[in-house]
Amino acid sequence: MTVTGAVSPIELVASSWANVALYAFELVLCGQYFARPSRPLMIKTGVGIMILADTVCTLAICFEVGLAIVPTQEHFHFVEALAIKIITTYITTAITQLSFCNLYYILTGNKLMSGVLIALISVHLGFSWASGILLLRFPELGPDSGIAFTVNTVGAVTCAATDLVVAVCLGWQFYKMMEDTIPLTRSLVTRIFILSVGSGAICAANTLLMLILLLKGSAGAFPVASELIGLQFPPVFNFLSTIQGRVYALSILANFLLGIPDRRAGQIPTLSFGLQTGVSSVVFRSTSAPSAQNASNLTPDRATFVGTSTLPSNDRRNEVVHLGDPDSGLLHDKADS
């Protein structure tokens, strides 16, 4: 198959297949999330909007691939599909970042840093949507126009900065908590996985790589349009931009589901942090009962440390620490604690 421009049709099809596979996995996780009882309405609404945006984005990607395979001289439809993909992708991005920001505020109570994160989210969302709306309103400009590319670049830079700040803030907070709850003998891969999912580091890595490719290949920033109107752009960027929204959605859904305990008969006694908003987060496990000093260090300013039962005297038994376990029935208002 011949290559037209920077990205071949087979590469476009491959990236769309990867997107559909991740989207299907996202639907599975979403179904598991909504199947749990007592989901907070605000979080359920956000997840619903995110799934709707990803559905529209996936349809736009499939439409792009269809147009790329079928020869046509008209590129306006590509630009319009691209604009829809930009708008929907950054809806998912903003919802994910706001969820991580909310989790950070719950754990730390730091209003100043949370305000900075919200400001960064608003800025990058504004610029990203502006580039999408501009292409949707004036498709004849094309994605290679100076103003469209500049606005999109500013949005990409601020989005990457937001992801990086969120990952550092949450990663540091989780790392401090893991020092007391996860032994050093635990697999390094496990510890890295918990930090990556819980802090949004996977999203940050994906966005930073896209930003590097964007700045390096500044002749164009839009993969499918490069197929038609001669923009030279790395195929890797096309792949990452296609699955970007699904990476965000899977990260936050995995974060929510990892914080939901499995209620089985004979389950080992559990310790939970009851958080006011009912937001779930990652599960931290330890192989021994914490000392009184460590137990006091585990309690964040905005969380209530609640034991469901007395810890066993045998220190070789496991106990689990859950952040924001809304299913445990241990959610308490701070005024009642």
109-166: per-residue pLDDT in tens? 889 999 999 999 999 899 989 888 888 887 776 655 667 778 878 888 888 899 999 8
Burial class (CB in 10 A: 0-12, 13-18, 19+), 265: exposed
Mean predicted confidence (pLDDT) in 41-45: 88
Residue 239 belongs to a domain: yes
- Over pLDDT 90: what percentage of the chain? 20
pLDDT-derived band at 14 (thresholds 50, 70, 90) equals confident
Please provide the average confidence, as pLDDT, over all residues in the chain.
Answer: 70
Q: Are residues 99 and 126 in the same domain?
A: yes
Cβ-count burial 108-123 (b if 16+ within 10 Å, e if not): bebeeebeebbebbeb
Which of residues 236, 258, 280 is at a domain's end? Answer: 258
Which of residues 213, 237, 258 is at a domain's end? Answer: 258
Sign of CA dihedral 41, 54, 167, 322: positive
What pLDDT score does 123 carry? 92
What pLDDT score does 287 carry? 41
pLDDT at residue 215 greater than cutoff 80: no
Residue 335 belongs to a domain: no
**Rounded-to-integer distance, Cα 238 and Cα 248, Å:** 16
Q: Are residues 235 and 312 in the same domain?
A: no
Residue span of the structural domain in which 80 resides: 9-258
Residue 333 belongs to a domain: no
CATH number for position 26: 1.20.1070
Q: Are residues 119 and 230 in the same domain?
A: yes
Q: Are residues 158 and 58 in the same domain?
A: yes
pLDDT at residue 251 greater than cutoff 60: yes
Q: Are residues 225 and 310 in the same domain?
A: no
Q: Are residues 194 and 231 in the same domain?
A: yes
Residue 272: Cβ within 10 Å count: 25
Residue type at 293 in one-letter notation? Q
Beta strand segments in the chain, E: 270-275, 283-286, 303-307, 319-323
Q: Are residues 139 and 285 in the same domain?
A: no
pLDDT at residue 192 greater than cutoff 70: no
Give this prediction's pTM.
0.70
Q: Are residues 249 and 121 in the same domain?
A: yes
Rg of the chain over Cα atoms, rounded to whole angstroms, equals 22
Q: Are residues 251 and 274 in the same domain?
A: no
Residue 334 belongs to a domain: no
**Rounded-to-integer distance, Cα 210 and Cα 232, Å:** 15
Residue 130 belongs to a domain: yes
pLDDT-derived band at 239 (thresholds 50, 70, 90) equals confident
Q: Are residues 244 and 290 in the same domain?
A: no
Residue 3 belongs to a domain: no
What pLDDT score does 283 carry? 44
Judge contact between 69 and 16, C-beta under 8 A. no
Q: Are residues 254 and 275 in the same domain?
A: no
**Rounded-to-integer distance, Cα 124 and Cα 326, Å:** 32
Which of residues 216, 238, 258 is at a domain's end? Answer: 258
Q: Number of structural domains, the chain? A: 2
Q: Are residues 276 and 249 in the same domain?
A: no
Q: Which of 30-44, 91-105, 146-160, 258-272 has the lowest mean pLDDT?
A: 258-272
Task: Single out the residue of 59, 22, 21, 3 nearest to residue 226, CA to CA.
Answer: 3
Residue 336 belongs to a domain: no
Residue 332 belongs to a domain: no
Mean predicted confidence (pLDDT) in 14-43: 89
Mean predicted confidence (pLDDT) in 45-64: 92
